[in-house]
Structure 1
Amino acid sequence: MKPLNIELKTRKDEAATENDLTQNHTKGNSTLSNCITNIDSNDAESQRSRLLEHIQRFGSVTTIEARRDLDVLAPAPRMYELRHWYGYQIDTVLVYQQTDCGKAHRIAKYVYRGNGSTNDLFGGAA
């Protein structure tokens, strides 16, 4: 296996601190003006709440946005739970979106369609 050759770029006069790196990444590159800054918890319930609030307000969220702006690193399981445990109708559409590094990735975009009864595998109401 070939090792990764990644160098941390620092200022000439001082080394970058962890705080500098966090502030530059999360605040400087956020596409949402209301990026969450006071997250109390990262348990599954809190992550579901943040995702649900966001898609109800804005209509959709991508994997990249969920990770960067909502601090939900694995949005797929939370969306599964919202769909199958709580009955929210959320579609998954595959789209291409650039990361903050400028690379395009094929990712999930979750589109909110409301809260109704879920269907079983055979198309009937659950």
Structure 2
Amino acid sequence: MSKKIIIVDDSKTILATAEMALESLVSDGSIVLKTYVNPAELRDALIGATEDYDLLISDINMPQLNGLDLAAELKQTANFKSKPILILTTESSAEMKMKGKEIGVTGWLVKPFSDEKLIKAIKMVLGI
């Protein structure tokens, strides 16, 4: 059964790059991929139960809603408390990573990312 991955990033270029990187996992049926440009829209869909995921990949610095704030909100919600969240960002400071760990994010990938690192992280987190 396919695992659903949602990627939220305000950069359409990053979303397109990730979609291309994950094309083989989509085409072989391992994953279903959905993208969002607006994290507030995604949060509303998740909290409103019109959207769900097996893995969320989120940027941090987005104008509508900070990715760590999104993660913190979701981790306080019963439906998403134990679901994995990977952060995909240009932020690489130990302080930011510690904040993410305290919130409960599963992992941290720094942009620019390689296709191989993204795929490896997804396979590891989802066990596919």
TM-score (norm 1): 0.32
Larger gyration radius, structure 1 or structure 2:
1
If the length of structure 2 is used for normalisation, what is the TM-score? 0.32
